Structure 1
Amino acid sequence: MDRLENAVRPYAWGSTTAIPELLGVPPTGEPQAEMWMGAHPGAPSHLDRGAGPVPLSEVIEADPERELGAATVRAYGPRLPFLLKLLAAAAPLSLQVHPDLTQAAEGFAAEEAQGVPVDAPHRNYKDRNHKPELVCALTPFEGLCGFRPAAEAADLLAGLDVDGLKPYVDILHASPENDALREVLTAVLTADRDEIAGTVAQAAAAAERRSSADAQAAPDGQDGPHGPYGPYASIARHYPGDPGVIAAMLLNHVRLQPGEALYLGAGVPHAYLDGLGIEIMANSDNVLRCGLTPKHVDVPELLRIVRFESSPPEILRPEADGAEEAYAAPVGEFRLSRLVLAADGRPQTLAGRAPVILLCTEGRVLLRDAGDGSELALERGQSAYAAAEDRLEVSGEGTIFRATVAV
């Protein structure tokens, strides 16, 4: 077992207080958006086995089978197949989708053949892997996930009474649903930027008016204190004139309570808006953006990847699995579970022969390797890595999340 030192990424959308508060350190005044726990080459965690801090990626490369276990190496190669993050959003992230395995492999090969540098700002595929992900709320958490039914999206747009949105409303009412969603998103993203900026500005002003009226009429309504238009008014304040504001109105708005989670598969458009959560994903950088960003938007490739089908967001709640509570996800690269420990409870054994990252979010827990008897205490905000061969027991009083491989 090894305590981890983790990098914090200062993206502009990050909260200045949420991660420092969890870690028990003073805020720096700068945004602290994500804390990465894992072996991703962009910001690997470090550990010290007596010779000074070493990147976890190097530890794994030195002896993959010991660190990852034979089953993980057979399934995913000699690398940690997941990345765990703390994510603290104080402003909306970009609206985005991720490719499936086949699309990622094809896209990566095509850009390699074209000689596009991996770090080029217009590069879509940084690797050959897919990027399914799951986010679990630690505080109330808001996001967008998947397409609304076309008729529902039409009603939302029509309620703003903006002339520039009326053609989209007509398409959403008249066409078969999947075709309508494709046609409207294509029209929004390929429109003349100056022209659609005016429509976005009018839609934003109307959303502000509707949001204020809804807050006064029903401050405790099920859509929140600012009604169905509040999230989009907020998005527009952060991204004035961005066509992604209209694209966002095609998506379901989701509110998670602490302990609830969302799974996001390939081709599902989504964006996180506000809150602190734990995010776990396959170890990939492949993102295609739809809007709410100054970064590159490759519309033709995006339209190839997006799944144009409406579906209500499925909110996941942890299900008992022995002493743990696990979040169901249909992938093998990762498994996320939660363990709530009581002070008078017995030590719990964590089953499995795969690498593990543990994050303490409440209280104080004690990790013990049943093989060699070594122990490591984790306070709130601290994390640890254990190799596949370690046999872990946990005790104490607190909450820990366990990330591992579902092999």
Structure 2
Amino acid sequence: MTLKNKNILLGVAGGIAAYKVVQVARDLTVAGAKVHVMMTPGATRFITPLTFQSLTRYPVHTEVWEYWTQEAQGHISLAREADLALIAPATADILAKLAHGFADDIITTVMLGLPPGVPVLVAPTMETHMYEHPATRQNLQTLVERGAQIIQPGYGNLASGAVGTGRMAEPAQLLAAVKLAFGKVEGDLRGKRLVITAGGTQENIDPVRYIGNRSSGQMGYALAEEALGRGAEVTLISGPVKLSPPYGAEFVGITSTRDLEQAVHAALEKPDAKADVLIMAAAVADFRPASPSEQKIKKDGSGQAPQIELVLNPDILAGLKGRAGLEGLLKVGFAAETEDLTHNAEKKLVSKDLDLIVANDAVTSIGQPDNEITLIERSGVITHLDRQPKTLVAGAILDKVVEILSKR
């Protein structure tokens, strides 16, 4: 979801986490948004307005009557022109004021003047006991009932030295939350549910060793994040990787191919949440040891390597052919090949009954931050994309998914 030319109000209250919001302002600006920062008097004691002005290239608002002219009426114009409002950090004080309709500073005054339908995101941060206090919980509930989205605080070290819940969400999460909010309103996948698999599977040889692959999960995670930004509901099923799940995704962690098969079936067969698209971006092990050892396999002094019998793993996509309840499911597969790329991918497209297959070179794509792909549709249409970052590749793949969905 592009943020280009979106008018975003960034309300900064007086908490130590204000220093993190400097990065948020920069990230939003780099993404193309017009960021208008509002600061309470307490916030200016942690971060100077000049810092935000330097990053956003817009004046920072600290008083209700600043920048008032007949053409640009201060807080009224800010509210009227806003596409989204993000309050971060949202202290206990600002939460209480917002919940009870106060208008005694620039943030609360502007927020009262927001037109209906403007998304409001709130990122609380405070000491654990303040966060858990019944008054704060009630204030948060009041804001939710009015349509605000609460970006939940994290658990960890707090400014006081205590450990608990109350850390403001990280800047990357706040940026993702903003994209998610716009996607729900404007995205071309809003109302759709996608199940996406990512990472590699691992098949135990013994408690220490396993058969695996070099998949980093970057492609699947990029697809999940892009789909969320386009307004989709996303279930991300992932093997072990060093990536954090995208904000807003339902996450399911798996290890083996059989784990993955069970998780895919469970995600597709939810009675109250029909899946529209399945994208199998995970690098799945084709074989597994027939009888994994319960103890670590050691050298026996014979000079001979142990013999490990392998058996076939289930072909998850092929197993979905004709499965009851999955009529209309758009299925996307990946083909990582080392030879005859297009030919082998076309064979998989047919044998697995796919709507779209993404073909890429196994040697140059797995574990790398960029990718060169060929998209092959059921209709026979072939589209080649030159090497580019996987974030851009994800956008191109989902563009094709949207195109296919629109023809149904």
Which category describes the TM-score, using the shorter chain as reference length? under 0.3
Higher helix proportion (structure 1 or 2): 2
Give me the TM-score of the superposition, normalised by structure 1.
0.23
Higher strand proportion (structure 1 or 2): 1
Give me the TM-score of the superposition, normalised by structure 2.
0.23
Which has the bigger relative contact order, CA under 8 A and spacing at least 6?
A: 1
